[in-house]
Amino acid sequence: MKALLILTDTTGQCHKALEYLKDFSEKLHMEGEVFIILEDLYKLEKASVSLGFPLPPETVPQTKDKVLKKVKHIWESVGGEDLTISVVAGEIRDEVTRYVKETGDVGLVMWGCNPSVNVCSVIDDIDIPSLIIK
């Protein structure tokens, strides 16, 4: 079983969320995993194309790489060891639903993001125990 932490950004609460992931995965004897969804980047990319001013091609991969490095650094600072981290640019509902189905062994979902109507409806859709970290 996995404890899956979903992040939508890497603001201040990201550090707290990664500490929770470390603690929960150790105490519950679960493998920890992080899934980062850059919904704002996805919307920016989509809007820029529709307006006729596409983002430079390196924007999305560079942003994903930057976020990945930051989360790895924070993970190491909280004393974490091996961790699978995935980063995508997409809509939270679609990406979480897809990821949970593909992974198949998620026992706990931790949300390190601001709760919203979208997050609450995704929690209902995936039907997995969830914890919102504020």
The pLDDT of 66-80, averaged and rounded, is 92
How does DSSP classify residue 122? H
Per-residue pLDDT band at 66 (split at 50, 70, 90): very high
**Distance from C-alpha of 19 to C-alpha of 90, rounded to nearest angstrom:** 25
The pLDDT of 8-17, averaged and rounded, is 78
**Distance from C-alpha of 134 to C-alpha of 93, rounded to nearest angstrom:** 20
Whole-prediction pTM: 0.90
Total structural domains within the chain: 1
**Distance from C-alpha of 86 to C-alpha of 105, rounded to nearest angstrom:** 16
Q: What does the pLDDT read at residue 48?
A: 85
Q: Is 41 helix (H, G, I), strand (E, B) or coil?
A: helix
Per-residue pLDDT band at 83 (split at 50, 70, 90): very high
Residue 128 scores a pLDDT above 80: yes
Residue 66's domain spans which residues?
2-132
Q: CATH number, domain at 14? A: 3.40.50.620
Per-residue pLDDT band at 118 (split at 50, 70, 90): confident
Per-residue pLDDT band at 119 (split at 50, 70, 90): confident
